[in-house]
Structure 1
Amino acid sequence: MINVTKSYLPDLDEYVTHLKGIWERVHLTNDGPLLRDLESQLKDYLGVKHLKFCTNGTIVLQMALKALNIKKEVITTPFSYVATTNALLWEGCTPIFADIRPDDFNIDSDKIESLITENTEAIMATHVYGNACQIEQIDTIAQKHNLKVIYDAAHTFGASYKGNSILSYGDISTCSFHATKVFHTVEGGCIVTNDDAIAEQLHHFRSFGHQNDNYYGVGINAKNSEFHAAMGLCVLPKVPELIAARKERFRYYDTRLDFTRITRPTLAPGMDYNYAYYPIVLDSEETVLRVMDMLKAKAIMPRRYFYPSLNTLPFALRGGVEQLCPVSEDVALRVLCLPLYPDLAEADADRIATVVNEALVAVGEVI
């Protein structure tokens, strides 16, 4: 079976070497030496000022909202993984959905200002598939209206915008280190800021609000373990190689797929992409389902990512009324992510592309 992604596993002996050190120290968690080493290496690799390694990519979104004291309305994207909206709802905020751009599927900055009210406190945008949002436009709007900016940068590890890691933008950016990501620690995530005071607050938030015997306020258990940090230390040096391999598979798809019947989101100018995903957009949901059926018949498992549009979720409705986002709703019905990972065999990529092209012919419709 070919899944939509496949986790990279480093050399087992290298990982076991770290495990031996953990056994010798008997320091399993609570800001251990491997965790601190990983944080230091991540800051150097990404070129960011403050970075805290945490348990996952959802809890860091919640921490970001707490650190910025966001409690009311947040303008956000309907085209993201559900964690983006869940974090807002879990923290008692009201998600206000701004529709997306039809070319790159990121939040449309032209749709943001009309949604700002006296209760708006922040913008939470997702760099969809690791592709940068309209960062300058969002920053201008935020400064004009005194809003905070949080970027859900879950997909962006190893990607840069205008020479800087995408994680360096916004008041706070977050990333996921889940096993399916370009860089992973099995489970994990990070939260990034350039603000010294916010960084200190996040440090205490991560560990119940205390350090040693001093309590600084309300916190949560967002610590990660030495075992997860060990995986990160093994994977991090391989990231350039992994991205290069992803790029090769990405470009191979580009040569094999029939783009008279398929479109793809465009990359933002100034992007150095990490090739995290290979999304294609078809002409209709019917075509998507047909392509999926034919791929699954060959033991190939693509994914409708993202589906559905988050503004349509019953539990995300504002006052029981759906906020219309026609572009997102349309794209969510027609997008499909094909398998992409560093060791995807060329023969398998060729087989996947062939099945997709044949499925499009079978449907008999052209975009």
Structure 2
Amino acid sequence: MYTYVTKPYLPPKDEYLKRVEAIFDRNVLTNQGPEVQELEASLGKFLGVEHVQYVTNGTIALQIALHCLDIFDGEVITTPFSYVATLSSILWERCTPVFVDVEEENFTIDPQKIEKAITPRTKAIMPVHIFGYACDVEAIEKIAREHGLKVIYDAAHSFGSRYKGKALSAYGDISTLSFHATKLFHTIEGGACVIKDKAVSDRLDFVKRFGHEGNTHIMLGINAKQDEFNAAMGNTILPHLGDIINERKRLSLIYDDCLPKTMRRPAMQQDLEYNYAYYPVLFENEQALLAAFERLKEHRVFPRRYFYPSLNTLPYLKEYQACPISEGICSRIACLPLFVGLEDALVETICKEL
């Protein structure tokens, strides 16, 4: 049996099938059906926010966030230490990514370097709450306010994390979430936008549904709406989220106790209630990382180089923007297996091999 960095959580089958039966009885499969409406309401309640739009995935969430904030061109400041979807969304909307290097301690975008990267063409800042750890949201908000910029957080990893008692995804003009099957909360495939302003939320609601209501065409839109079966999975999993996070925390504490103390981890911010979305570790160098991967392979354990490579080095970018801290971290970071159902003994074996 192989052990990968994550394994999708599946709720009790009978709970999900009960919802599936109701979908069959209603014969409403999509177009903002009851399951989607229930999930949006439940997400809003869980996050303590008013405006949540459930969409097909986390990447389209970023794209329509840019669109609905009128970021059609110009520069978007972002981090090179993220999954490629962060960059893809900026390029797909015909904007220019401007990379700002990350902080050495917690690997999130460095606010002190953001201001130096602002030009007359800057339209927005797109930071990322890496691994569920918080960006310096106060500093970023201050910079954005002083320069009249929009803030779109890629909060794909942050569901369940809270900062100063507030959901991490409640910060920014829009925060986007991913509910991919690998996430601690998922809808098989899916995502969401958490929007501060009601008018922007109403616009995004139209945009995700082709931009029309009946025969009245209001604006340019796209198909980003999600179906009832995916929403039903989310509605089934959400009540179990507390148990999911607690189990991931328990496993993380075993890693904490057993791993060599010389292995670095991202620094957790004060006032952060963490969701234990991932267990990243930083090796001394790339050679040590690759050697550890070979040892773990003998146990059929496969961690993931996450994130690799640093986004500023991708070959299809027009120009190279140096980000030495991100590039250094990307060369020697890995996420270890962490999921509900992971056996304690295997965690201890992984630690022993490291």
TM bin, normalised by shorter chain, reads over 0.9
For the residue of structure 1 that corresponds to 2:76, the secondary structure is strand
> What corresponds to 2:276 in structure 1?
275
Give distance in 1, aligned partners of 2:213 and 2:293: 51
Give distance in 2, aligned partners of 1:61 and 1:117: 22
Q: Deviations over 1:278-315 (max 9, x none)?
A: 00001111111111111112100100000000000011
Candidates 96, 99, 106, aligned match of 2:98:
96
Give distance in 2, aligned partners of 1:122 and 1:45: 27
Candidates 346, 349, 352, aligned match of 2:347:
349
Give distance in 2, aligned partners of 1:210 and 1:285: 51
Give distance in 1, aligned partners of 2:319 and 2:210: 37
For the residue of structure 1 that corresponds to 2:135, the secondary structure is coil
Q: Deviations over 1:179-226 (max 9, x none)?
A: 010100000000011201100001001100012222111011001000
Amino acid at match of 1:252: I
Candidates 116, 127, 135, aligned match of 1:125:
127
Q: Deviations over 1:201-253 (max 9, x none)?
A: 01001100012222111011001000001100110000000000000000000
Identity in percent? 49
Give distance in 1, aligned partners of 2:14 and 2:239: 15
Give distance in 1, aligned partners of 2:298 and 2:80: 31
Q: Deviations over 1:318-360 (max 9, x none)?
A: xx3200000000000010100001221111111111111xxxx
For the residue of structure 1 that corresponds to 2:220, the secondary structure is coil
> What corresponds to 2:48 in structure 1?
47
TM-score (normalised: structure 1): 0.95
- The answer as to whether partners of 1:78 and 1:98 remain within 8 angstroms in 2 is yes
> What corresponds to 2:111 in structure 1?
109
Q: Deviations over 1:72-92 (max 9, x none)?
A: 100000000000000000000
Candidates 200, 203, 206, aligned match of 1:201:
203
More displaced 10-residue stretch of structure 1: 11-20 or 328-337:
11-20
For structure 2, the 5+ residue unaligned runs are none
Candidates 316, 338, 341, aligned match of 1:340:
338
- 1:44-193 superposed matches below 5 A: 44-70=45-71, 71-193=73-195
Give distance in 1, aligned partners of 2:296 and 2:104: 26
Amino acid at match of 1:193: I
Instruction: Tell me if 1:220 matches 2:222.
Output: yes
Give distance in 2, aligned partners of 1:41 and 1:336: 33
> What corresponds to 1:361 in structure 2?
none
Instruction: Tell me if 1:327 matches 2:325.
Output: yes
> What corresponds to 2:39 in structure 1?
38
What is the deviation of 1:96? 0.1
Give distance in 1, aligned partners of 2:203 and 2:168: 22
Amino acid at match of 1:72: G
TM-score (normalised: structure 2): 0.98
What is the deviation of 1:142? 0.4
Give distance in 1, aligned partners of 2:288 and 2:215: 60
- 1:282-301 superposed matches below 5 A: 282-301=283-302
Give distance in 1, aligned partners of 2:319 and 2:208: 35
> What corresponds to 1:13 in structure 2?
14
> What corresponds to 1:363 in structure 2?
none
> What corresponds to 1:360 in structure 2?
none
Amino acid at match of 1:40: A
Q: Report how many aligned residue pairs link the two structures.
A: 352
> What corresponds to 1:315 in structure 2?
316
- The answer as to whether partners of 1:48 and 1:167 remain within 8 angstroms in 2 is no
Give distance in 1, aligned partners of 2:214 and 2:161: 36
Q: Deviations over 1:143-186 (max 9, x none)?
A: 11100000000001111010000111000000000001010000
For the residue of structure 2 that corresponds to 1:291, the secondary structure is helix
What is the deviation of 1:14? 1.1
For the residue of structure 1 that corresponds to 2:301, the secondary structure is coil
Give distance in 2, aligned partners of 1:143 and 1:15: 44
Aligned alpha-carbon RMSD (Å): 0.7
Give distance in 2, aligned partners of 1:232 and 1:136: 31
For the residue of structure 1 that corresponds to 2:126, the secondary structure is strand
What is the deviation of 1:264? 0.4
What is the deviation of 1:13? 1.1
